[in-house]
Amino acid sequence: MLAVFEKELGEDKEVVRKYLFKAKGNYEHISPLFIEKSLHRFKHLISKDLIKALLRIPKYKLNSTMHEENSSFFKNDKTVQLFNRYATYNGSSPFKSPAMLNMIQHLELNEGVFLPKNGMVQIARSLYELAVKQGAIFNFNEKVLSITTDNNTIKGIKSSKREEDFDVVVSNMDVSFTYEKLLSKEIERPKKTLNQERSSSAIVFYWGIKKTFPALDVHNMFFSKNYKDEFSKLFETKTLSEDPSIYLHITSKEKKEDAPSGKENWFVMINAPINEGQDWEKLVGEAKKSILTKLSHQLKTDIASLIEEEFIMDPVFIEEKYSGAKGSIYGNASNNKYAAFYRHPNFSKTVKGLYFAGVTVHPGGGIPLALNSAKIAFECYKEDSR
């Protein structure tokens, strides 16, 4: 990998090595505190790990953005753009998010990328099977309508089929929607937390392509020529760039059974603004046209003529299907250095017995962090039940 940076992008591979080594160090010092523990219970943080993390404060570049730090390390704008990409891993802008988030690169470039044997759904299936072995009971196709409380204490839940009494409820619904749709209006809301800037959303085209492309791999990026303009449109004017960065994922490159012989399964994604009433039919149509034009040009093939199957996911779909408020994927964006501290805690400060998990609460977005949120919520519950 270092050789590629040197040969293709003209970077000094020792500079790249130094950059990734720093990302590793930052991650290893921050993870035990900010990812694996609750930020909202001070006694969770008191340890030798805290002292070690505090001693590294100058290396975190707390007053710099991701883009500023990346620009100071690398001489090729394309290298900077490549490393800036990691801000989108939690729905943020590299021109606003803190440089500390550059530690995300450690997991992907130092540790490596993994694909579950049966696809991403295998993670959920494995958790389900483990829970069943522990005695958990699952009730599918049964919508929870409300979380019931009495005198700011959990009483239970009401579903589309029945009411059940519980001492403890854990919600992994978007925390904003938990307050808005499931809890009584009388429950006090943490307005400052819930009013933070939302993370970006996405438009995804799932295409069945009747051809194979040897030039493509499992993960493929086609970058915008004007990255700053793309993020300005996403977060400021709430629209799409005319030249969006495109992520193209093809699992059949690695797992041949994921597509028929001689064909490929394309997951084509661009970042999108949150849903604030835009004309999404128009925006999705424009996005599809831009994507097809760009990919057809790069691959020297008319991609539109190769699409056999299509399914489209946009911010409205994400909001309705997955309960992501305004179509946001990760809850709050990390577009300022205090964003991590504004994430909702994994427990309610006003309702006894109510806990939270998922990408919209601490520690943040992405599958590893979402799994950690459940671990933290459980630790808080154990502590409260003593």
Over 243-292, what HEC string results?
A: CCCEEEECHHHCCHHHCCCCCEEEEEEEEECCCCCCCHHHHHHHHHHHHH
Over residues 149-178, mean pLDDT: 96
pLDDT over threshold 80, residue 197: yes
Structure confidence at residue 287 (pLDDT): 98
Beta carbons of 142 and 159 less than 8 angstroms apart: yes
Predicted local confidence at residue 51, as pLDDT: 76
Confidence of residue 45 (pLDDT cuts 50, 70, 90): confident
> What whole-number distance in Å separates Cα of residue 330 and Cα of residue 92?
9
Written as one string, the DSSP assignment of 312-346 is EE-HHHHHHHH--GGG-SSSB---STTHHHHSBPS
CATH of domain 121-196+330-384: 3.50.50.60
Picking from 269, 258, 265, the residue whose alpha carbon sits closest to that of residue 221 is 269
Between 28 and 52, residue with greater pLDDT: 28
Q: What pLDDT is recorded for position 211?
A: 98
**Cβ neighbours for 19, distance < 8 A, ≥ 6 positions apart:** 73, 74, 83, 105
Read off the pTM: 0.93
Please tell me the distance from the alpha carbon of residue 315 to that of residue 331, in angstroms, as a whole number.
13
As given in the structure block, the two tokens for residue 51 are: 């002292």
- The ranges assigned to domains in the chain are 2-111, 121-196+330-384, 201-322
Across the range 226-247, mean pLDDT stands at 97
> Bridge-partner residues for 266, per DSSP?
207
| Residue 5 contacts residue 307 (beta carbons within 8 Å) | no
What fold does the segment set 201-322 form as a domain?
Answer: Guanine Nucleotide Dissociation Inhibitor; domain 2 (3.30.519)
pLDDT digits (tens, 9 = 90+) for 16-43: 999 999 999 999 988 888 888 888 877 7
Tens digits of residue pLDDT in 284-320? 999 999 999 999 999 999 999 999 999 999 999 999 9
